[in-house]
Amino acid sequence: MKFLDEYRDADAAQQYARAIRQVVTRPWVLMELCGGQTHAIVKFGIDELLPPEISLVHGPGCPVCVTPIEIIDKAIALAARPDVIFCSFGDMLRVPGTDSDLLRVKAAGGDVRIVYSPLDAVRLAKENPGREVIFFAVGFETTAPANAMAVYQASRQGIENFTLLVSHVLVPPAMEAILSSPGNRVQGFLAAGHVCTVMGYTEYEPLAARYQVPIVVTGFEPLDILQGIIMCVRQLEEGRAEVENPYARVVRREGNEHAQRIVSEVFEVVPRKWRGIGSIAKSGLGLREGYRAYDAEQRFGIAEAVDEDTECISGLVMQGVKTPAECPAFGGRCCPEHPLGAPMVSNEGACSAYYRYRRVQRTPAIALPVGKQ
């Protein structure tokens, strides 16, 4: 397939791996920031191609995984209301809240609908003037422009029965939180190419300089990731800490200014709680004063904060401190059918990637008699 196969070429991947082996002289820990990159790394075995000096750890870049449990609980409470059509991307439906998830609400008769764009939810609101239509607006800088556009369009068209349940998060403050944490191991970042497509990469330049950490804007195909790794390792070996952009076929330094404009028209920067990590200052987006009427939390006034399940160590996984396989619940008490945390059910979750693609020795749920294994 053109524009895909050439980025999955096995010979070229081996050449990159050889080049990395020639460059590296000592151990380095790199973090890929996006869950899509994590899945590509585990699916294609990229980490297994690398010399033992290079460790890849997985960052907080799965939007579903970082959505805090109280927001999931709020979504569940709203979706159960008889006057509400609750719209969401499909991967939020199985994310566990405190006692339930959106799929169970749907099974119990709640009007929960999977949509492919927030503008579909605006259309539903127009078609159903007697119902309240709520769109679950989660994600990073990548999904914010479309969500901002939905609110903007609803406002322009005078649609009053449409609101967003907002849990948007921003990448650079999370990187700073990781870099400034006392247990930080990360020495270089593979930045998420799609986030940079929207935002550009100027925000990363002060981070690279302040923390002396290389940041390489990286795509999602195996060769993109290997190229990001070798550029990061070269910088580390040469003592450089710069932002580099080998993903120039997609990303410009200044990003997409039209998308940035609509985001700052509708949203403002706010503190945000990250699941498993905690509150990070200036790390989220919330609706601006002029668009507060489209805020579902304000309109419906819902729910209090709850404590997170302590058995799930997703916060440690998403900060690169542990791998999914190091979680005691992995593959046993936590599996896709019975998830304890969002990273096990999200398409971008590190735990789901390890469960799906990585051959690890899992403890059987039922011990078989000797001779029958």
Helix or strand or coil: residue 96? coil
Binds ligand SF4 by CB under 6 A, chosen from 341, 346, 348, 353: 341
Give the total of residues touching ligand SF4 (CB under 6 A).
Answer: 15
Burial class (CB in 10 A: 0-12, 13-18, 19+), 304: exposed
Q: Closest CB to ligand SF4 among 118 and 341?
A: 341
Binds ligand SF4 by CB under 6 A, chosen from 24, 31, 215, 334: 334
Helix or strand or coil: residue 193? helix
Distance of CA 210 to the CA centre of its chain: 24
**Closest approach of Cβ 315 to ligand SF4, in Å?**
8
Point out which residues pair with 58 in neighbouring strands: 32
Map residues 296-325 to x or -, x wherever contact with ligand SF4 holds by CB under 6 A.
Answer: ---------------xxxx--x------x-
The DSSP output letter for 288 is -
Rounded to whole angstroms, the Cα distance separating 196 from 251 reads 6
**Per CB under 6 A, 340 contacts ligand SF4:** yes
Ramachandran category for residue 93: left, alpha or beta (phi over 0 → left; psi -120 to 50 → alpha): alpha
Choose one: 103-111, 122-130, 149-157, 341-349; the region binding ligand SF4 (CB under 6 A).
341-349
Q: Closest CB to ligand SF4 among 215 and 334?
A: 334
Strand order, beta sheet including 84-88: 112-114, 84-88, 132-139, 162-169, 278-287, 267-274
Helix or strand or coil: residue 61? coil
Q: Closest CB to ligand SF4 among 302 and 316?
A: 316
Rounded to whole angstroms, the Cα distance separating 98 from 277 reads 17
Q: Closest CB to ligand SF4 among 127 and 311?
A: 311
Angle formed by the axes of helices 222-238 and 10-23, to 10°? Answer: 10
Map residues 256-285 to x or -, x wherever contact with ligand SF4 holds by CB under 6 A.
Answer: ------------------------------
**Closest approach of Cβ 47 to ligand SF4, in Å?**
18
Helix or strand or coil: residue 314? helix
Q: Closest CB to ligand SF4 among 110 and 339?
A: 339
**Per CB under 6 A, 327 contacts ligand SF4:** yes
Position of minimal CB gap to ligand SF4: 341
Q: Closest CB to ligand SF4 among 173 and 331?
A: 331
Single-letter code of the amino acid located at 229: I
**Closest approach of Cβ 31 to ligand SF4, in Å?**
17
Q: Closest CB to ligand SF4 among 254 and 311?
A: 311
Rounded to whole angstroms, the Cα distance separating 247 from 250 reads 6
Q: 17-76: which residues touch ligand SF4 (CB under 6 A)?
A: none
Q: Closest CB to ligand SF4 among 216 and 345?
A: 345
Rounded to whole angstroms, the Cα distance separating 21 from 112 reads 50
**Closest approach of Cβ 277 to ligand SF4, in Å?**
13
**Nearest CA-CA partner of 287 in 180, 123, 137:** 137
- Point out which residues bind ligand SF4 (CB under 6 A): 311-314, 317, 324, 327, 329-330, 334, 340-341, 343-344, 351
